[in-house]
Amino acid sequence: MPIQFACPVCKKLYTVDDFEIGKKTECVQCGQRIQVPTPSRNRTVLGEAVDPLPSNIYRCIFCSAKISSPKAVPVGVTITCPKCRQRFNPNGGDSNGLDQAPIPLPKRIASQTLTRETRSAQPDEDSPKPSLEYYGYLPPIPKSRTRLAYKAVGCGIVLFSILIAVAVIVFLRGCDSIESINPFGASTQDEELLIWVPPDTEVLVSINVEELKTAEQWKSLLQGKQKGKQEGLVLPDPTKVILASKGNRRGSQEIEVYRLSKPFDPNPYIRSGAAKVKKKDGRSYLEFADENQYLFNPTGGIVILSPNENMLFEAMEGKTGKVRVDPEVLKLFREAKGPINGVGVGPAAQTSSPVVRFSSVYKEPPPLCLSQLTKSKMRSDRIDFEVTYQYSAPEKRSWRGSNWNPE
């Protein structure tokens, strides 16, 4: 708290903080040495006594009106206030029941700020307890506060409903994206079919029937495997494939081969920018933001090759296997800027050897499939076709590793 004082000689005013009290200094104007004084304190003084009312003048206990009487009222006698017509005993006591009633405070006090005098005027314990509002100790809760509470509850309900709506939308969108990726629809039987159809299901998407006419080639492939010879399927254009090897050639590098056990939905990755759709030579593939990570034929090819072992996808389940890749193959894989149509894995899978499609990455080969046009009929407005695919195995569980016999 600042203190003001003046130099006693030249009357120059100074203002200092209270912690400077008692400090000595020189007046900047006249050079007089002065000391910061202690401010005058609020001393206790004697209160002024007020004369009581004359003995023949009374005050109504109900309306506080002054009532003068020619004589002093005897003890026990009640009088009537001429103003409010209430009877009371001016000398106190309980001559009749009227003066036993609690003395109510004037109503205007209840709305005023409580002072020491009004606080000391609390009724005795014997008297009935007045309401809080009457004395005004606790002010009633303002309406604005209750409105605020209602607003808070309303906002909470609105936010909760918004959250529920967002969750429902996210759930439904996720379901849609999964369903849309399944070319067979949503029935369980179709999903089962999707599993054991050859993994290069681009056949079913692009209607490239030629791919399904490879039963003889598969047969020759398996015969070659039984004799310990090359493992692979000759493709029309072997320059578009990449080769890997399980052998231990010098400089070979171990890589992870991932297989998706369920249809992979690339749309979330594309939307989030984690992957980009690239296309070359009429074929599309996914290129992920991470280096050297490509996903080929994401709707059905379900093969991912990556030199990065940390590569994991949420949509990916389980089965991984390690293969060794020739250095020149790996170089080819890394330098490939366009699509890679196939991956060959096998003892004889070298750059100069025949290669296989995606399916050969599996430990067990996929079932054979024969397709033929079984019916065609010319109608007036259209041509009806019926194509039958004959598979060698009814379900995936029946063909495992070397136990699988296409015969």
Instruction: State which of residues 41, 250, 382, 397 lies at the interface with other proteins (CB under 8 A).
Output: 382
Among 41, 43, 250, 379, binds other proteins (CB under 8 A): 379
- Quick one: tokens of 391? 């598979």
The nearest distance, CB 221 to other proteins, in angstroms, is 20
Our finding on whether 194 is near other proteins (CB under 8 A) is: no
Please, what is the minimum distance in Å from the beta carbon of residue 181 to other proteins? 5
Binder of other proteins out of 206, 223, 253, 261 (CB under 8 A): 206
Please state the closest distance from residue 308 (CB atom) to other proteins, in A.
Answer: 22
The yes or no reply on residue 407 touching other proteins (CB under 8 A) is: no
169-188 binders of other proteins (CB under 8 A): 180-184
Minimum CB–partner distance for residue 307 and other proteins (Å) = 23
Alpha-carbon gap, residue 231 to 83, rounded angstroms: 123
Question: Does 372 engage in binding with other proteins (CB under 8 A)?
Answer: no
Size of the site for other proteins (CB under 8 A): 39
Of 347 and 406, the one with the shorter C-beta distance to other proteins is 406
Q: Exactly one of 108, 383, 402, 403 binds other proteins (CB under 8 A); which one?
A: 383
SS3 393: coil
With vertex at residue 293, the alpha carbon angle to CA 287 and CA 297, rounded to the nearest 5 degrees, is 60
Q: Does 289 bind other proteins (CB under 8 A)?
A: no
Minimum Å gap between C-beta 272 and other proteins is 15
Contact flag: residue 397 with other proteins (CB under 8 A): no
CB of 60 within 8 A of CB of 83? yes
Between 29 and 390, name the residue whose CB sits nearer to other proteins: 390
Cβ–Cβ < 8 Å for 393, 196: yes
- Listed as own residue / partner, the contacts of 232-239 with beta carbons closer than 8 Å and 24 or more positions apart are 232/344, 232/346, 232/348, 232/349, 232/353, 232/354, 232/355, 232/356, 232/360, 233/354, 233/355, 233/356, 233/357, 233/360, 234/354, 234/355, 235/341, 235/342, 235/354, 235/355, 235/357, 237/341, 238/354, 238/355
For residue 323, the cross-strand partners are 255
Asked if 365 and 340 count as a contact pair (C-beta separation under 8 A), the reply is: no
| Residues in contact with 35: Cβ distance below 8 Å, sequence separation at least 6, in sequence order | 22, 23, 24, 25
Closest by CA to 306, choosing from 215, 242, 401, 250, is 242
Q: Does 95 bind other proteins (CB under 8 A)?
A: no
Of 317 and 386, CB closest to other proteins: 386
The CA-atom distances, in angstroms, between 342 and each of 75, 244, 300, 304, 305 are 122, 10, 13, 11, 11
> Which of 51, 117, 335, 381 forms a contact with other proteins (CB under 8 A)?
381
Determine the Cα–Cα distance for residues 145 and 177; give it in Å rounded to an integer.
48
Nearer to other proteins, 303 or 348 (CB): 303
With binding defined as CB under 8 A, does residue 236 bind other proteins? no
> Using CB under 8 A, which of 44, 120, 188, 189 touches other proteins?
189
Q: Which of residues 244-273 bind other proteins (CB under 8 A)?
A: 266-267
Considering the rule CB under 8 A, would residue 284 count as an interface residue with other proteins?
yes
Alpha helices in 182-284 (DSSP H): 188-196, 202-206, 215-226, 267-272
Q: How far is the CB of 407 from other proteins (least distance, A)?
A: 14
Among 274, 389, 396, 404, interactor with other proteins by CB under 8 A? 389
* Sign for the pseudo-dihedral over CA of 242, 247, 253, 254: positive
CA distance 265 to 279: 18
Check residue 165 for interaction with other proteins (CB under 8 A).
Answer: no
Which range binds other proteins by CB under 8 A, 56-64, 132-140, 145-153, 279-287? 279-287
Q: Give the residue with the Cβ less far from other proteins, 9 or 207.
A: 207
337 in Cβ contact with 348 (< 8 Å)? no
Least distance between other proteins and beta carbon 167 (Å) = 24
Q: Which is nearer to other proteins, 7 or 270 (CB)?
A: 270
Is residue 243 a contact partner of residue 351, using CB atoms and an 8 Å limit? yes
Closest listed residue to residue 293, CA positions, set 311, 279, 277, 281 = 311
CB nearer other proteins, residue 71 or residue 382 = 382
Task: Report the interface residues with other proteins, using CB under 8 A.
Answer: 180-184, 189-190, 193, 205-208, 266-267, 277, 279, 282, 284-286, 298-299, 367, 374, 379, 381-394
